[in-house]
Amino acid sequence: MAEPRYFQNDLKPIATDTKNLNATLIALKGAIASSVELLIQHVKTKSSSTRDPLYTGDAGIALMFLRLSVQLKAAGLGDYLKKDIQAQIPSIVNNLLPPLKAYQLRPGHLSPLDSPVGSAVVYILSTLDRVTSPDSSSVDTTDDKDWAAAIQTLENAVTTATEDQSLGGDEVLYGRAGLLWAMLNLQMWVSARGVPRQMEKDIAQVVNTKTIKQVVERIIEAGKLGARWYERNYGEEPLPLMWPWHDKFYLGAIHGVAGILTVLLQAPKAMVTPHMRLIMRCISALCDITVHKDGHLPSSLPAKSRTYEYTQICHGSPGLLVLLATFRLRFPDDWREDWETAEALAAEKVWEEGLVRKGIGVCHGVSGNAWTLLLQGLSHTGQKETSTLLSRALAFLLRSTELPPLVPGVSTAFRTPDHPYSLFEGLAGAVCAWIDACVIIREYLGEEKASTKMVLGFPGLGAVMAPPQKKALPSKESSLFKELLQLYETKQLKKGVKTADQILKKVPDHGETLCMKGLIITHMGRREEGLELVKKGIRLDITSHIVWHVYGLIQKAERDYEGALKSYTQALKCDRENLNLLNDAANLQTQLRHFDALQDTRELILKLKPNARKSWISLAVAYHLNGNLAASKKLLDKYEEVVKNVPDYDFEHSELTLYHVRVMEELGELNEALQKLDNSAKSRVIIDRTAVMETRARLLSKLNSPEAEDAWRALIEKNSDCYGYYRGFFSNKGISLGDDFKERARAYLLNGFRRGVPSLFSDIKSLYSVPAKRLAIEEIAEGLRKEESPSSTAPAVNGDVAANAESPTTYLWILYFLAQHYSYLRQFSKALPLVDDGINHTPTLPELYTCKARLLKRAGDLVGAVQYAEDARLLDLQDRFLNTKSAKYHLRAGLSEEAQTLLGLFTKKDAPSPGADLEEMQSLLYLTEEADCQKRLGKLGPALKKYLAIQRVFDDYNHDQYDFHFYSLRRFTIGAYFKLLQWEDGLYRHPSLVHAILEASRIYVRVHDNPKLSASSSAGLSEAEKKAQKKAKKAALKHQEEAKKHTNASSHEDKGLEPPTSKDEDPDGSKALAATDGLERAWKMLKLLASHPLERVDVCIGTYDVSIRRKKYAQASKALLAAHAIDPEDPELHLRIVDFKQRVSALPEPLAEPLDSIVSSALSTLFPSELTPETFNSQYLQRHSTSALATLTSAQVLQLLHAPLDEVESTVFGVLAPESDVDIKTAQKAFDFLSFTNSTRRDEFREACDKRFQLSTVFKAPEELAKLHAEARARRQKAIENSEPTAAQAAPKDGAVAP
């Protein structure tokens, strides 16, 4: 043939920007609409007698209409097709189908493309579509002869396909592959849609896993046989699988290998995988040929040399492209990169030669070639190829809308096909291609309900690659489901369950309904049952956003934020642009500080909802959080450009503008920020005057402007009680208190004494960091004490004090101040007489008693401390501070029960116990003191329990911020929101949390080292304690019952989504203590601290202790190196270094790389390699000979190195050497260590300590201490009996009036 089979391609690819895509979309939709009308016209006037086959028969046009109705929404065609046409579709389909009969089928004539199987399959599909569409009336097939005939025809075809053994009937157009395509489609429809039982059964008899597998196997067998035959016939090396048709070995998609493999790949994966190697080798061979032919695929083998090659689906490389696209979509993990050359070459060829003269059709026409590019682009989704492929495909498709029969044949050089309206040659097929293109464009543009899942692909080849569609509920159930959602929203739970059950009765495995039921049941308090249902629902409908959303909600309520975010991400995959999901996901991302992802989410939200103020600001905040200040500012600028019609005095806009200024400030654009602030304040855009003043002062300070001072002064005048303003004022002035310090301090102190400011000392003591100031203050206060002492003040004149004389309270407060001063400096012998003087002077001031109590506590006299704290408390029974103080000192002295009684005076009376109430109130003070007290008493279980309670409190704090991610951004209180986030981010540094975590992990470590501890902790309970425990248990039980009664009474069915506080199964913590995974639990807690930069040696040490026991040597090395960086001489570190060295060298075999080099590099930093541990230790001791702690540590190291006990002992005694800086804590530690080593010199040490710390009761012999406690207890008992606080108020009448 002289003229080429294609036209020169001079088309311009369609740019994939929104504008061009929208224009293309409109053009395609228009073409579809007019084509549909043309086709309807054609159908009415048709005279054709070919009806059954899909290829050129009426059944093919019917299939097109069926596809149209399925894809209508996804393609956005709802508005383009007249409503009456939409309504007509089912009847059009029906009219197009011939009367159905049960046909017998011959081998080699099984494919629906060219046999009565075609009309049978379309009939079945259209029936399924009708019964599963939401507004269908119910369809009964029991008496439907057509249905029975269709099923029978199909069955005959399948039987023939599996029984026939001859070669030559496997390709798509006539053979088994075509039939397999039909079977797979049917199976997909049945599983994806709620098909009535009977129909499902009918189909399953014919199409089931067994029959599909048989057909697949038969095709593969034939392929192998064919390959052998080819080899024998032609003596050439065959492809691994080859199928003859009419004695020729075709390669294309309709008759050949490419098409057969495409269909095979879409069979269930389990059936394909066993043959994967063969199939892939086959594809490789096809690719090799294509590369060899520069992008052409010959139509058959052996390849003849021709002057031309076809470039169309049925023959040529487009078939290869369809095969490769299908492979990539179905088996992305098995994809081979060396196929990509062939892929690219073929795609290029299609673009160059794809405008084939044969016209519009899909089998050998322009729209078919366009479709290959389209599908190839789809298989590349997310990669750069997509847009090139898409733009070329669209150019082709637009061209195809200008071809006959849509436009008269005379106006174009393209041929009018033989069957101008048919599915494979004519208009109907092109319409299918355009519809798929519409879906893809809309998804590309991010439009609603468009999803590539709705792309159906080539008839006869594709569609099975798409994941199953959502199961559509029958119309009645569908409206019930809507009602169910409504009922959940309004929390009508019981009704909700009823409705769900109603749906499930009809459609028992509807995943979304199961999930909703599970969610409601969870709300009703049946958590486990609910969760079970939800999980089942997810399994049944894994592509529904509803099921994932439900699961995410439950996980979120359980504070499993990571899990919840994963579920939301899944849900978003199913419904990319669901705003509810996006907002929740953004909140979770903020909670988890996934700022990169947050930024993406917020960007998408803004794109979807650009007219909501919140979308803009949330994105600006997200940029800001992600450290992208410039982007934040740019967005805010843009926002202010767009925003219009802000009402006057709009608070939200005011906050936004302030935030804008703040962003500029943080960017360092101070002048611009100031200007914006001033302008906005002047124009009354910012209405928060205080904020304006504060921001202004701050900006002026940063600009070093002379106006700054005035700005701060104005603030101080406005609110003189704000420390921040003074700080701002002084830092701006840069004042350093120099020579006139003394004078100023004296005036300040005297004023405080005269006015009786109790907090004067705490106010002033921050100055003590400078010793000179401390000394000056001591001098001033002592001077004032002399001046004001009663003996030196002017004697009374005429029995009356001079009017201008100093008040005696001044002297009293001086005494108080000085007592605190010396107590703080641990000069107890000076402090004690002063506070006693004060008590003698005025015995009614509680502060003096608390001062003395604290002093005694510091000096180690815990018994005395309790005494004086109690004295203070009795002076003012309604002072909770005094109460707490006294309770705390009781706990310090190990008097836990008395402390409970005291605390109970201020806790809720209906709480199960005072401790429980305080825990509920998140009293960190109580929890910490109680835990420490139990720990000192050796009751590790209860101690551990309280430490864990502290951790829970912080977990609550962390959880508390969640609602603000949503609330603050809605209310635009961004300044406060940032402060909140900052505070939450610093939580892991909170001393109470760090203490609790470290102590808890120490307990776990102790139990790990000595498992007996967990048993002895609870076994050591005395009778009385057991009784008390029983009593507490009973009380708790009663409390629970009451609570139950209470909730029953209110009979509120909604228990909320958060799990209820489960009842305490482990009241004394013994279970937690006995946990076998203690170290893991410890690590779980420590991770919170260790995942931040380590700033405290004790945290490093705690991390080391747990890591080394978990045999995590890298972690352990890292922790020690961190400690070393903070303080290389720290005693605890010293002990751990030797411990580490010992443990590593005791390892039976060296660690695996790279662990070994990590550890040895750490050791080389920590431990001088030339030293023995012994010399390392003795050198350390020499360096720190006066440090008691270091001395003790070196003794501990000695013990670790198995030194003789007497050497260890004598080193410990070094702690008490005259020059040692020993304090009570260290001495106690040393004593504990001696007890631990079973030293015989233990008591000797104790007595020496008792002598050294004279005031202290810590080192009394047990019996002596018991006596002291008993005496104190007797005294307290008496005092309590005498006071009987409130009982007296309701006193009886006796003695009201004396006779």
Partner 1 sequence: MSSPTSGRQYKNNPYERVSFSSVTGNNIGIIRVLNSTLFPIQYSQRFYKQIVQPELEKYCKLIYLNDVPVGTVCCRLEEIDNETKLYVMTMGVLAPYRNRKIGSQALQHILDAARESKKPKITSVYLHVWVESGDAKRFYERHGFKEVGLVVDYYKKMEVRDAWILEYRLHPSAAEGEDESVELQAMSPSPAAQDHATTVT
Task: For the CB of residue 794, give the shortest distance to partner 1 in the complex, in Å.
Answer: 11
**Residue 984, burial from CB neighbour count under 10 angstroms (0-12, 13-18, 19+):** middle
Q: Largest Cα–Cα distance of the chain, in whole Å?
A: 144
**Which residue, 1011 or 1285, has its beta carbon nearer to partner 1?**
1285
**Which residue, 907 or 1196, has its beta carbon nearer to partner 1?**
907
| CA 730 – CA 726 distance, rounded (Å) | 6
Task: For the CB of residue 708, give the shortest distance to partner 1 in the complex, in Å.
Answer: 35
Strand order in the sheet with 244-245: 244-245, 248-250, 300-301
| CA 286 – CA 1050 distance, rounded (Å) | 74
Report the run of H or E that residue 1237 belongs to, with start and end.
Answer: none
Q: Please identify which residue in the block is written with the tokens 């946990």.
A: 1075
Task: For the CB of residue 878, give the shortest distance to partner 1 in the complex, in Å.
Answer: 4
**Which residue, 808 or 1067, has its beta carbon nearer to partner 1?**
808
Task: For the CB of residue 1047, give the shortest distance to partner 1 in the complex, in Å.
Answer: 36
Beta carbons within 10 angstroms of residue 91's beta carbon: 10
**Which residue, 1186 or 1286, has its beta carbon nearer to partner 1?**
1286
Report the run of H or E that residue 658 belongs to, with start and end.
Answer: helix 651-667
Task: For the CB of residue 845, give the shortest distance to partner 1 in the complex, in Å.
Answer: 6
Cα dihedral 1232/1234/1239/1242 (nearest 10): -70
**Which residue, 842 or 1185, has its beta carbon nearer to partner 1?**
842
**Which residue, 1146 or 1291, has its beta carbon nearer to partner 1?**
1291
**Which residue, 413 or 1296, has its beta carbon nearer to partner 1?**
1296
**Which residue, 756 or 1059, has its beta carbon nearer to partner 1?**
756
Q: Which of 1075, 1055, 1078, 1053 is nearest to 1065 (CA)?
A: 1075
According to DSSP H, which parts of 1051-1166 are helical? 1070-1074, 1078-1090, 1097-1109, 1113-1126, 1131-1145, 1155-1166
Radius of gyration over every alpha carbon of the chain, rounded to an integer in angstroms = 43
Phi and psi for 800 in degrees, rounded to 5? -120, 145
Report the interhelical angle of 828-841 vs 846-858 (nearest 10°): 160
3-class secondary structure, 6: strand
What's the one-letter identity of residue 1056? G
Q: What residues pair up with 6 in beta bridges, in sequence order?
A: 356
Task: For the CB of residue 792, give the shortest distance to partner 1 in the complex, in Å.
Answer: 13
Which CB contacts under 8 angstroms, 24+ apart, belong to 1157-1161?
1158/1113, 1158/1114, 1158/1117, 1159/1113, 1159/1114, 1159/1117, 1161/1117
Binding interface with partner 1 (CB under 8 A)? 754-756, 790, 796, 799-801, 803-812, 841-846, 874-879, 1282-1289, 1291, 1295-1299
Task: For the CB of residue 1284, give the shortest distance to partner 1 in the complex, in Å.
Answer: 8
| CA 1017 – CA 411 distance, rounded (Å) | 99
Q: What is the DSSP string of 303-362?
A: PPP-S---BSSSSBHHHHHHHHHHHHHH-GGG--GGGHHHHHHHHHHHHHH-SBTT-S-S
**Which residue, 1146 or 1297, has its beta carbon nearer to partner 1?**
1297
Task: For the CB of residue 902, give the shortest distance to partner 1 in the complex, in Å.
Answer: 14
What's the one-letter identity of residue 1101? I
Residue 248 DSSP one-character state: E
Task: For the CB of residue 804, give the shortest distance to partner 1 in the complex, in Å.
Answer: 6
Report the interhelical angle of 723-733 vs 708-718 (nearest 10°): 160
Q: Which of 375, 459, 536 is nearest to 122 (CA)?
A: 459
**Which residue, 379 or 886, has its beta carbon nearer to partner 1?**
886
Residue 291 CA from chain centroid, whole number: 47
Task: For the CB of residue 852, give the shortest distance to partner 1 in the complex, in Å.
Answer: 14
| CA 1030 – CA 1055 distance, rounded (Å) | 30
| CA 478 – CA 485 distance, rounded (Å) | 11
Is 314 marked within a binding site? Answer: yes
**Which residue, 616 or 753, has its beta carbon nearer to partner 1?**
753
Whether the link from the prior residue into 405 is cis, omega within 30° of 0, is yes
**Which residue, 47 or 1289, has its beta carbon nearer to partner 1?**
1289
**Which residue, 735 or 1288, has its beta carbon nearer to partner 1?**
1288
Task: For the CB of residue 809, give the shortest distance to partner 1 in the complex, in Å.
Answer: 5
Task: For the CB of residue 790, give the shortest distance to partner 1 in the complex, in Å.
Answer: 6
Contacts (Cβ under 8 Å, ≥6 apart) of 1247: 1259
Task: For the CB of residue 784, give the shortest distance to partner 1 in the complex, in Å.
Answer: 14
Task: For the CB of residue 1296, give the shortest distance to partner 1 in the complex, in Å.
Answer: 6
Q: Please identify which residue in the block is written with the tokens 């929104």.
A: 18
Q: Which of 147, 148, 219 is nearest to 181 (CA)?
A: 219
**Residue 72, burial from CB neighbour count under 10 angstroms (0-12, 13-18, 19+):** middle
Is 363 marked within a binding site? Answer: yes
What's the one-letter identity of residue 1261? A
**Which residue, 833 or 986, has its beta carbon nearer to partner 1?**
833
Phi and psi for 1084 in degrees, rounded to 5? -60, -40
**Which residue, 850 or 1228, has its beta carbon nearer to partner 1?**
850
As annotated, the binding site includes: 314, 363-364
As annotated, the binding site for Zn(2+) includes: 314, 363-364
